[in-house]
Amino acid sequence: MLKIYNSLTQTKEEFKPLVEGKIGIYVCGITTYDYLHLGHARMLVAFDVVTRYLRERGFEVNYVRNITDIDDKILNRAKENGELFSDLTDRFIEAMHEDERALAVLPPDVEPRATGHITEIVDMIKLLVEKDMAYRAGNGDVYFSVMNFPDYGKLSKKKMDELLDGARIEVGELKKDPRDFVLWKSSPDDGVGWDSPWGYGRPGWHIECSAMSTCCLGDNFDIHGGGSDLLFPHHENEVAQSEAATDTQFANVWMHNGPLRVDNEKMSKSLDNFFTVREILETYDAEVVRHLLIASHYRSPINYSEQSLRQSTSILERFYNSLKGLDIDSAKSLTNSRFEKAFFAAMDDDFNTPEAFSVLFEIVKEINKQKEGDPVLANQLGALLVRLANLLGILQSTPAEFLRSNVSTDVDEQEIDQLIAARKQARADKDWALADEIRDKLAAMKVVVEDGADGSGWRIER
């Protein structure tokens, strides 16, 4: 039985799709004005694992993840650069796709862009205005009327009156109520916008997601996801807009991935603890980064550090060491084993990847044990390990690829082979001094020699 934690009810619930066998899932994607940072990667990888697993469970998944490609931050950055905002977003969307591919994040089925859905956005705002759930202010902006939506706060568990206490009153306030938020921003002067019944302008951020999700998946759909920092106000506002417009429940299940921290604080540019995906990938293997992101449960915070990356590195080395020497391709994966059952039980329990990993380690242990005694079984276990790991998007390389290459180290395989051959001769001559000298030389090249019964192998020191 598949159970998913639902932020709306704050409990783990048995998951039941609206239509048997099918799942519609919408995840808030990226505002594309810069390179992806590790926090973005966390979200992308978390929902990549979710969708991979749901598909493995036999569901036909329609995964929709939007791109916010019109926004004040984008326009400001474009202005700084002196370029068209669409040139800026095109560039960073391409960069985002590159980073996703590096991290083995599968593309969503639909990737709607805000600028491609202006019609739906305008239609939804029109409907809200007609229903008296929104109003046009004096300057042409259109605001959502929070007061007219009694359920406001049901997702983030905030009380209407407490929100009023905390709300900032801005100078020159045009809102009827400080809690109201913008649906349509008037922009008569800057030349970036679209015509609308309320004049030339641009959509607010929250309405984009309401329009794109209901447009792609229907008024009521199965799962809505995103980072926990979006829960309020973004997701709360989405619920308000969508349910006010459609008079039906919006998403059935809300999933929120935990934050990525650095030095126990949220990663942010102002704290100067900000890491982009591509700068980390200059020194660490993408699979190592991916492992780090799924070694903790998706709802828990992850504290990023060099140490945690090194730990993920040794863990992957253990996996690949165990796969070394196995014939996976021609072996048939073990089916219906206790390992597989335990793995699925862990994943069925709200995608418990840490527990799933503990099962993978049990398989590793069994492989290492069986390598000598029952090579056929070892191969079958190896195939099982790779099959299950693929659901997490790891162990996608071969042992040789992973253990013998490194993004930050270049090796000359021919030279290594020559040195190993020379050492083999020295060892045959029992010239231990020379053999150790050669091994030290290899070590200086970041190459670790491993002697086995059938000759000496090597790997890169990480």
Partner RNA sequence: GGCUGGAUGGCAGAGUGGUCAUGCAGCGGACUGCAACUCCGUUAACGCCGGUUCGAUUCCGACUCCAGCCUCCA
Tell me which residues in 265-304 interact with RNA (CB under 7 A).
265-268, 295-297, 300-303
Report, in Å, the least distance between residue 11 CB and RNA. Answer: 9
Residue 62 tokens, joined: 């329609």
Q: Note whether 387 binds RNA by CB under 7 A.
A: no
- Is 31 a binding residue for RNA by CB under 7 A? The answer is yes
Span of 97-105, 282-290, 327-335, 363-371 interacting with RNA by CB under 7 A: 363-371
Nearest CB to RNA, comparing residues 101 and 131:
101
136 touches RNA (CB under 7 A): no
Q: Applying CB under 7 A, does 101 fall inside the site for RNA?
A: no
Q: Are strands 251-257 and 221-227 parallel, antiparallel or unpaired?
A: parallel
- Size, binding site for RNA by CB under 7 A: 80
Pick 248 or 371: Cβ nearer RNA: 371
- Which range binds RNA by CB under 7 A, 82-90, 241-249, 366-374, 379-387? 366-374
Of positions 16, 22, 73, 101, contacts RNA by CB under 7 A: 73
340-359 residues near RNA, rule: CB under 7 A: 349-350, 352, 354-355, 357-358
- Residues 423-442 as x/- pattern, contact with RNA by CB under 7 A: ----x----x--xx--x---
Q: Which of residues 150-179 bind RNA (CB under 7 A)?
A: 156-159, 162-163, 166-168
Among 63, 205, 254, 344, binds RNA (CB under 7 A): 205
Nearer to RNA, 9 or 248 (CB): 9
Site string for RNA, 229-268 (x = CB under 7 A): xxxxxx----------------------x-xxx--xxxxx
Least spacing, CB of residue 314 vs RNA, in Å: 5
